[in-house]
Amino acid sequence: MPPRGSSFNSKMGGKRAEKPLKTLLRLFRYFKNCTGILIVSIISILAYSAASNYAVLMTKQLVKVLEAGIGADMAKYAALLIGMSILYAIAVVTNFLLNRLMLSCSARVMCALRKEMFEKMQSLPISFFDGRTHGELMSYYTNDTEAVNELLHHSITQMLISISSLVFVFGLMASLSIPVVFIMICMGVTVFYVMRGVTKKSRKNFKKQQYELAAVNGYIEEMIEGQKVVKVFTHEDKAKAGFKVHNDELCKVATDANTYASIVGPLMNNISHIFYAITCTVGVLLAAPVPGEEFLLENTWFASHQAFLVEGSALIASLQFVRQVSNRISQISQQFNSILLALAGAERIFALIDMPAEVDEGTVTLVRVEEKDGTLKETDRRTGHWAWKRDNELIPLRGEVKFADVDFSYDGKKQVLTDVTLYAHPGQKIAFVGSTGAGKTTITNLINRFYDIADGTITYDGIPVREIKKNALRSSLGMVLQDTHLFSGTVMENIRYGRLDATDEECIEAAKIANADFFITHLPEGYQTQLVADGANLSQGQRQLIAIARAAVSDPPVLILDEATSSIDTRTEKHIEKGMDALMKGRTVFVIAHRLSTVRNSDCIMVLEHGRIIERGDHNALLAQRGKYYELCTGTSELS
């Protein structure tokens, strides 16, 4: 198998979004799942921005009333106050509605995104999972999706509110003072270039942070799974030292990423203060003369540039708008970290989604058949008989497997299998023995097409396996792996996983064949006992018995037993031999075993060494050859 723990950066593959804008636009496509909600949200944003900013504009009228004396028009003053209160009330309601709608919309988008990620993972080849720890894979569903969720739920809402408010503010300020608008434009340009410079520095570091976070999660998950091994060999200090390396690197990258991002807020605040002071200065210099100051009105410059003068009431409103602009820009800067982190997570997610799926060029399918008038007919009924359907031809599924001059390498460099030729006739039991790494498990993985061969041919009932659809091929094979995996659920559900339409009676019968019925019936709740943490409440041998029962209930024509009895004691093994014999009767069986006692009755035993078949024959024939197998049986040589 290829080594685990490979770098995410070098092995992600696929089409990656390189630009933040491109990634953001791609993310927005997922809003098609809530178009109606999004439209109402945008209307709410516009209503909120309009209401809050028109309320600010009304201060100009309030000041004018005050200049004339509050007693002069008390009714107008009260009406203005009531109008402002109504506008602010509308702003509060629309803001609440907006946040509630965006919460619902972001939940739908994240649901669609997680669904697409999970479906993509189901379509990826085994080689993708070989090089990654569970923690690294889970990081997609935790760190990356949470960062994106924060962007969709909170950051985008604040950004849209801020941008729409800025548009309203600039429009309203244009009606108050052209010079102040010009100052605000200068402020906007300054802010744009400052944020552009910081973004270039931060985006790269935030992307590194997501990768390092995945590496840390992967290490933690691996240490938790192997905690017993760590303690057995007293490697706690080594585990802590290894974690320190990963954690220190994450700390360094996270510090670099947030260092640049954290200066945005202070920069924006200070820039806004500077422009606020400039606006005050310009406003005072351009303050329009009040009635009675005839010497100013007669001044030549004022008389010719009255369009640039600012009334006192307009100046007060303009300063409020300047503060409004400052607050909105400050809000944008506060979302800066979240946006960069989310875009880094989104890039990783899209890189996963864009990875090429497992290629399946097969056209041959597997169908149920029944015999009528001496010919096979396709049927939907469960008959216990299957056939390969190629075009309109039905080929009986017999379980004949042949390898011809097969070469294979996992990485294209180190050869794992060389010139392997073998055949298994229907109903034969073929056994593989040899040292660890000799290529035994690899052969069974090639039958399943978990990997594709580099050279040679593999046929199943005379059909090249490349021509058979992978789902059809794999559904015709039953496997019991050395590393047993059980799912959360009841014992019955785990056995039924072999064939989802199996009845309780069929599951119990399969358990009896595997000799698992006795211990299952003595569990606290029998077949309804809940299994947790990959069956941690069972012994390793019991877990393997359930895996054998799961294979038995699938009723496959070909069985692959990869060290299927490695965790079962010799006494239990003898008890299930009869049941296994009944299970294997009439089926082609491939057996991988270290215990030679389990392969003695095989029709053909193949001895592998360094990826080559060096001996083949039945038990007696191989003993007569007095070769490697003879040495293993007589104890003069051992399997490593």
* Cβ proximity of 554 and 496 under 8 Å: no
Token representation of residue 562:
């990869």
pLDDT at residue 19 is higher than 80 = no
322: amino acid identity, one letter? V
User: Among 161-165, 556-560, 610-614, which range has the highest average pLDDT?
Assistant: 610-614
Is there a domain that residue 12 lies in?
A: no
Residues 158 and 241 in one domain: yes
pLDDT tens-digit map of 271-318? 766 766 776 666 666 555 544 444 444 444 444 444 444 555 566 666
Helices (H), ranges, 175-235: 178-225, 227-232
Structure tokens at 429: 């039991």
Residue-wise DSSP of 378-389: E-SS--S-EEEE
Average pLDDT, the chain: 78
For residues 538-545, average pLDDT: 83
Q: Are 456 and 403 in contact (CB under 8 A)?
A: yes
Judgement on whether residues 301 and 382 belong to the same structural domain of the protein: no
Looking at per-residue confidence, does 423 or 168 come out higher? 423
479 and 380 share a domain? no
Q: How confident is the model at residue 5 (pLDDT cuts 50, 70, 90)?
A: very low
Give burial (CB, 10 Å; 0-12/13-18/19+) of 278.
middle
**Eight-class DSSP state of 71:** T
**Residue 504: its pLDDT value, please?**
93
Residues 388 and 332 in one domain: no
Q: What is the reported pLDDT for 527?
A: 93
Is 465 inside a domain boundary? no
Please give the tally of structural domains in the chain.
3
Q: Which residue has the higher pLDDT, 558 or 7?
A: 558
Q: Is residue 57 part of a domain?
A: yes
- Domain of 615, in residue numbers: 427-441+470-634
Q: What is the mean pLDDT of residues 504-522?
A: 89
Q: Are residues 437 and 383 in the same domain?
A: no
Residue type, 385: H
Which pLDDT value is given to residue 261?
62
- Which one of 322, 350, 378 terminates a domain? 350
Out of 45-54, 215-224, 298-307, 354-363, pick the least confident. Answer: 298-307
Question: Within the chain, how many helices (H) and strands (E) appear?
Answer: 25, 16
pLDDT at 292: 45
The answer to the question of residue 9 being in a domain is no
Q: Are 106 and 206 members of one domain?
A: yes
Q: Indicate if 323 and 436 belong to the same structural domain.
A: no
pLDDT digits (tens, 9 = 90+) for 121-148: 888 888 888 777 777 788 888 888 888 8
Query: In this structure, are 203 and 344 located in the same domain?
Result: yes
Task: Let me know whether 518 and 574 are in one domain.
Answer: yes
- From first CA to last CA, the distance across the chain in angstroms is 17
Query: Which CATH number does the domain housing residue 512 bear?
Result: 3.40.50.300
Name the pLDDT band for 627 (thresholds 50, 70, 90).
confident
- Residue 195: other Cβ atoms inside 10 A: 18
Check which CATH number belongs to the domain holding 236 and give it.
Answer: 1.20.1560.10
Q: Which of 38-52, 319-333, 460-474 has the highest mean pLDDT?
A: 460-474
What local confidence, expressed as pLDDT, does residue 233 receive? 61
Quick one: pLDDT band at residue 260, thresholds 50, 70, 90? low
Task: Say if residue 390 is in the same domain as residue 341.
Answer: no
Q: Which residue has the higher pLDDT, 367 or 216?
A: 367
My answer on whether 268 and 380 are in the same domain is no
The CB density around residue 521, as the number of other CB atoms within 10 Å, is 11
Of the candidate ranges 408-417, 552-561, 562-571, the one whose mean pLDDT is the lowest: 562-571
Q: Which residues of 454-478 are buried (b: 16+ CB within 10 A; e: fewer)?
A: eebebbbbebebbebbbebbbebbb
Calpha distance 332→326 (Å, rounded): 10
Res. 161: pLDDT tops 70:
yes
> Lowest mean pLDDT: which of 42-56, 162-176, 274-288, 610-624?
274-288
Q: Is residue 100 part of a domain?
A: yes
pTM of the model: 0.69
How many other β-carbons are positioned within 10 Å of the β-carbon of residue 161? 23
Q: What is the pLDDT of residue 457?
A: 93
- Weakest mean pLDDT among 123-132, 347-356, 573-582: 573-582
Tens-digit pLDDT profile for residues 165-216: 777 777 776 666 667 677 777 776 777 677 666 666 666 677 777 778 777 8
Residue 625 has pLDDT above 80, yes or no: yes
In a domain? residue 558: yes
286 and 346 assigned to the same domain: yes
Among 350-359, 510-519, 563-572, the range scoring the smallest mean pLDDT is 563-572
Contact 347, 206 (CB under 8 A): no
Model confidence at 558, pLDDT cuts 50, 70, 90, reads confident
